[in-house]
Amino acid sequence: MIGAYPFSAVVGLDDLKLALILNAVSPRVGGVLVRGEKGTAKSTIVRALAAQLPAVKVIAGCRFSCDPAEPDPACPDGPHGAGEQGQERPAVLVELPVGASEDRLVGALDIERALTEGVRAFEPGLLAAAHRGVLYVDEVNLLHDHLVDLLLDAAALGTCFVERESVSVRHAARFLLVGTMNPEEGELRPQLLDRFGLTVEVRASRNPDERAEVVRRRLAFDADPASFAAGWAEQEAALARRIAEARERVTKVVLPDVRLRQIAAVCAAFEVDGLRADLVTANAAIAHAAWRGGAEVTAEDVRAAARLSLPHRRRRDPFDAPGLDESRLDDLLAEHGGDDPDSPDEPDGPDDDPGGPGGSDGPDGSDGPMGSGDAPESGSVENPARDVSGEGGQAASRDDGAASDESGDQPGHPAAERVVAAAEPYRVRPFQVPGLGDGASGRRSRARTSNGRTTGSRVPAGRLQRPHLSATLRAAAPYQRERGRSGPGLLVRDTDLREAVREGKEGNLVLFVVDASGSMAARQRMREVKAAVLSLLLDAYQRRDKVGLITFRGSTAELVLPPTSSVEVGAARLRELPTGGRTPLAAGLRRAAEVLRVERLRDPARRPLLVVVTDGRATSGPDVAPSAALLAGTAAVVVDCESGPVRLGLALDLAARLGAPVVRLDAPAEGGGLGGLVRDHRTDYRKAG
């Protein structure tokens, strides 16, 4: 129940409700991506939306929900003649699980009928079920990339194409796409973000009264769900009627040329890529005008649309967070025809609140369902690769020619800590975990995955997921005579079924162990170290890895970032990383061994890759050898930070103990540095220093 939720309790939920309604009014807007912290009712309000959508008429018996008035001429269950019997049903909400297969999403050959009856029959997927309804993907950022590509292609085209296992099918797939995600668990790629029409950021209010109201209403619902729903039924029905009326008006709304040029000017000024932003903003502005009851798009409609369609398209770097400077948006609207001589049309509904009917959120006259809410924070987001110290270039200048600081080992010592800016990140050499894994799909190491090239077949351990037709036929063929086959169909038993074994790429757990001692401050070395780790983090982002960050300095090692899919959080933690104190290398290795031991229990299929960033010095703590032995068998890389004319080569010794390759931080790409070829730990380059 949308109306029952006190929207002021969660900052951004007013925008979320508006974004959902605009998509309900006009599916051409292209869907909604909801970003926010856990526990902010993202899933609750999305599920409540389906109940507000108008009922749809479908052809009886059609698995693809064809409209009796305009049946799909290419419907696999067709052809449907004009005037076929129809039936009315509520709009459906179809949920796509994160672990769904490609067959479950788009549909596939009905393997059972193909093998037993000898016919090519198509089994529809979730895209067919969601046609003319809502397709909801919770934690869309955890959905595999190839599924996201298929999903967004269908959403953009309104059609699902299936070409697989002797099946060639196309069917209509027009739905309201809604995805929710927690940015702490990882971001979507910018090119995938662009495929969502609108985006909304939500976060919980810090006002105790508003939070208490949420709990109060939830307790009331738990105590008597039927009575609670009845109390809000009138508000919900009014909202549903208004959405239906706006749907009827949307095709008649006029988009004046001055508003179209205004939209184009705003999108160009914010430097968004491509033209999808212009199209989405135009469709959203038309839907907003229809929602408020207007006959023509105004500057206010353009503003409301731009606030929702542009923030996620302004990411210029994977570490940037979505955002929009609303004051600049207002200036651009005013500069390019934003001063409307005529005030916006008043809505035709019974109230003058653009948020919803009645101007009230419920029977008690509390928060309105479309209250003004709090505007999201504006302003551009700092790039951690460029800002690090918070003091511009001053931090870098302080470190020019700085000597090694190993004396400040006491907590709070003013000379023990300093925050150094990072240099620009760069493309690094790809590192892989040796062998063949079974981990989560990604783009780093070789693994047996649910997608990729087929390398063989096997007897399925459980339910058949990826049928291997030729292997199944070969297994069944020798027994056809003794099974008494007489018709065209092939007699297949459960023991004949084979599934495909596919090889692709997996994502790994990349655990960084970074030396943050005082020696890293010498000759701006920490600037290069941070640039190297940022570069490796960017590589991990592109390869869909989980990342963790351990730093060691003084007398201890600290797990700065527990293993997570959010590479952006790792970049932010690295930005604030201070240096100073002695070098407890053994403590850093022991902490890494402990973290990896816990992660093996938590996620046994994800193989780890240890990246140790150090000059090899150990000026504090016990001997390194026992700690390195704890990491025996773990795939590792040592990034040697030693610089200067005289080199001790201590990182080489550490790499030899870990059985790891070593790369130079300061070597040029063609000479075997982090951006070049990987040197084996047996390669001695101390003479080259």
Q: Which residues are catalytic?
A: 276
**Cα–Cα distance, 436 to 573 (Å, whole number):** 32
Q: Are 177 and 259 contacting, i.e. CB atoms less than 8 angstroms apart?
A: no
Give 3-state DSSP helix, strand, coil % of the chain, rounded to 5: 40, 20, 45
If one counts every other C-beta atom within 10 angstroms of the C-beta of residue 532, the result is 27
Please state at what angle helix 299-309 crosses helix 276-292, rounded to 10 degrees.
Answer: 130
Question: Could you tell me the CA-to-CA distances from 18 to 12, 32, 55, 347, 497 in Å, in that order?
Answer: 10, 10, 20, 15, 50
**Cα–Cα distance, 648 to 655 (Å, whole number):** 14
Contacts 24+ apart (CB under 8 A), 159-163: 160/106, 160/107, 160/125, 160/127, 160/128, 162/106, 162/107, 162/108, 162/122
Q: Are 656 and 409 contacting, i.e. CB atoms less than 8 angstroms apart?
A: no
The label of the residue with tokens 């929702």 reads 308
Q: Are 144 and 171 contacting, i.e. CB atoms less than 8 angstroms apart?
A: no
Q: Which residues contact 256 (CB under 8 A, 6 or more apart)?
A: 296, 297
**Cα–Cα distance, 484 to 689 (Å, whole number):** 79
Both tokens assigned to 433: 């975990």
**Cα–Cα distance, 329 to 337 (Å, whole number):** 12
Both tokens assigned to 447: 């693994």
Q: Are 369 and 7 contacting, i.e. CB atoms less than 8 angstroms apart?
A: yes
Question: Could you tell me the CA-to-CA distances from 397 to 388, 392, 498, 506 in Å, in that order?
Answer: 13, 10, 65, 42
**What does residue 347 show for φ and ψ, rounded to 5 degrees?**
-65, 150
> Do the bridges between strand 198-204 and strand 10-11 make them parallel or antiparallel, or are there none, so unpaired?
antiparallel
Both tokens assigned to 63: 């698995």
